[in-house]
């Protein structure tokens, strides 16, 4: 497995691979890898001739009072997991390598990134789209895999790729959970045992809301969401949002919507967790 730290070396290596006619698959991550990341890597591995994974805790997607400095890191462990899953190239730049100190150019998606995490974390999606666009220019992948765990992020990236004509296929991978239902996340590491047990309420309540809407339709949505909010609050969670939107437009779901994203962001202690359920409506 090749480990690359500079943009120049990465771009040159990617170009060589492209010129040899091989396909490039790409999985961008912030490291501290877990089985959720590895499921994306396995999907990409099965499809690509050469598989690139980036490990970069992107400073531009963190707000001033967020957990950039505390974000968990374990590069050696990440490397071992990537070796085991047959990754070919790791790109792990330092922030000063990734961004010029006087960087003034940003990529911004203006609609799908508005609600949910975009509303609570104003600079977040601008940081995500900018770093992903930069990574796409460096890696030049044929396809890239993103998790449904970050459903809004997946939609925003798909929109960016469409609007800016990146010749890249974006593949959505299913959300991976622990055996008890907690969505896997690098941030679970911050949770105390007690908080982790309480946090199971997120998935439990989203599932109940999902079942209610599946059985009774959209008319039951507001009641189901309110019940979920009450259940999550009772578990000790501090709700950022528990809400539902049309999964394509990020607007209010209506009877013609193709699908519903039921999404939650909840704090347990100081740790902010996100989770979601997606219902596809049959036409
Ligand atoms: P992160 O390192 O948190 O930025 O995540 C990198 C990629 O892994 C993103 O596309 C995430 O959506 C995806 N991912 C993280 N956790 C999970 C999970 N539990 N299931 C599926 N994909 C995940």
Residue 114 lies in a domain: yes
Please measure the distance between the N-terminal and C-terminal CA atoms of the chain and give it in whole angstroms.
46
Last residue of a domain, one of 122, 149, 173: 173
Structural domain of residue 135, as residue ranges?
Answer: 2-173
34 CA closest ligand 1 atom index? 16
Ligand 1: distance of its center to the CA of 257 in Å?
26
185 CA closest ligand 1 atom index? 16
17-44: average pLDDT? 98
Ligand 1: distance of its center to the CA of 35 in Å?
9
Q: In this structure, are 140 and 202 located in the same domain?
A: no
Provide the CATH number for the domain around residue 264. Answer: 3.30.1300.10
Q: In this structure, are 116 and 10 located in the same domain?
A: yes
Tokens of 226: 């309110």
Phi, psi for residue 237 in degrees, rounded to 5: -80, 140
Cβ(147)–Cβ(36) under 8 Å? yes
Residue 54 lies in a domain: yes
- Predicted structure pTM score: 0.98
Q: In this structure, are 210 and 265 located in the same domain?
A: yes
Q: In this structure, are 254 and 162 located in the same domain?
A: no
Residue 45 lies in a domain: yes
The per-residue pLDDT for range 227-252, each reduced to its tens digit, is: 999 999 999 999 999 999 999 999 99
Ligand 1: distance of its center to the CA of 70 in Å?
18
Q: In this structure, are 151 and 33 located in the same domain?
A: yes
Pick the residue whose CA is nearest to atom 11 on ligand 1: 147
Domain count, the chain: 2
Q: In this structure, are 77 and 200 located in the same domain?
A: no
Provide the CATH number for the domain around residue 127. Answer: 3.40.50.620
- Which residues are known to be catalytic? 37
Q: Residue 62: left (phi > 0), alpha (psi -120 to 50), or beta?
A: beta
| Local structure of residue 175 (DSSP, 8 states) | P
Residue 181 lies in a domain: no
Calpha distance 28→73 (Å, rounded): 15
Ligand 1: distance of its center to the CA of 29 in Å?
7
Q: In this structure, are 8 and 72 located in the same domain?
A: yes
Residue 99 lies in a domain: yes
Cβ of 29 less than 6 Å from ligand 1: yes
Calpha distance 224→229 (Å, rounded): 9
Calpha distance 125→123 (Å, rounded): 6
Calpha distance 48→144 (Å, rounded): 10
pLDDT exceeding 90 applies to what percent of the chain?
A: 99
Calpha distance 201→187 (Å, rounded): 17
Pick the residue whose CA is nearest to atom 12 on ligand 1: 147
The per-residue pLDDT for range 111-155, each reduced to its tens digit, is: 999 999 999 999 999 999 999 999 999 999 999 999 999 999 999
DSSP conformation letters of 122-147: TTHHHHHHHHHHHHHHHH--SEEEEE
Q: In this structure, are 34 and 108 located in the same domain?
A: yes
Cβ of 112 less than 6 Å from ligand 1: no
37 CA closest ligand 1 atom index? 8
| Local structure of residue 93 (DSSP, 8 states) | -
Q: Collect all residues with Cβ–Cβ distance below 8 Å to 146 and sequence separation of at least 6.
A: 28, 40, 153, 154, 157, 170, 171, 172, 173
197-223: average pLDDT? 98
Question: Which residue from 143, 148, 4, 121 is spatially nearest to 65, judged by alpha carbons?
Answer: 121
Q: In this structure, are 190 and 117 located in the same domain?
A: no
12-40: average pLDDT? 98
Cβ of 183 less than 6 Å from ligand 1: yes
Residue 282 lies in a domain: no
183 CA closest ligand 1 atom index? 19
pLDDT of 283 over the 90 cut: no
Residue 180 lies in a domain: no
Question: Which residue from 163, 162, 189 is spatially nearest to 178, judged by alpha carbons?
Answer: 189
pLDDT exceeding 70 applies to what percent of the chain?
A: 100
């Amino acid at each position: 497995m090749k480990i690359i730290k500079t943009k120049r070396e990465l771009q040159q290596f990617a170009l060589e691979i492209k010129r040899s006619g091989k396909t490039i698959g790409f999985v961008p991550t912030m490291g501290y890898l877990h089985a959720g990341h590895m499921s994306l890597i396995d999907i990409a591995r099965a499809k690509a001739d050469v598989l690139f994974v980036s490990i970069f805790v992107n400073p531009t997607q963190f707000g001033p009072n967020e957990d950039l400095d505390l974000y968990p890191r374990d590069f050696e462990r990440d490397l071992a997991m990537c070796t085991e899953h047959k990754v070919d190239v790791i790109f792990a730049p330092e922030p000063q390598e990734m961004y010029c100190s006087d960087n003034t150019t940003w990529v911004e998606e203006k609609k799908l990134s508005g609600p949910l995490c975009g509303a609570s974390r104003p600079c977040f999606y601008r940081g995500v789209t900018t770093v992903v666009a930069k990574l796409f220019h460096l890696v030049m992948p044929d396809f890239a895999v993103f998790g449904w765990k970050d459903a809004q992020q997946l939609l925003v990236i798909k929109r960016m790729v469409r609007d800016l004509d990146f010749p890249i296929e974006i593949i959505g991978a299913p959300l991976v959970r622990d055996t008890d239902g907690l969505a896997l996340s690098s941030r679970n590491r911050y949770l105390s045992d007690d908080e982790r047990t309480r946090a199971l309420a997120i998935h439990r309540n989203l599932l109940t809301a999902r079942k209610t809407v599946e059985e009774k339709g959209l008319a039951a949505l507001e009641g189901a969401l309110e019940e979920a909010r009450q259940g999550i609050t009772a578990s000790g969670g501090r709700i950022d949002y528990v809400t539902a939107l049309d999964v394509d437009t990020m607007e209010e779901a209506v009877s013609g919507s193709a699908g519903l994203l039921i999404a939650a962001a909840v704090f347990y202690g100081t740790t902010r967790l996100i989770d979601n359920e997606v219902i596809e409506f049959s036409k």
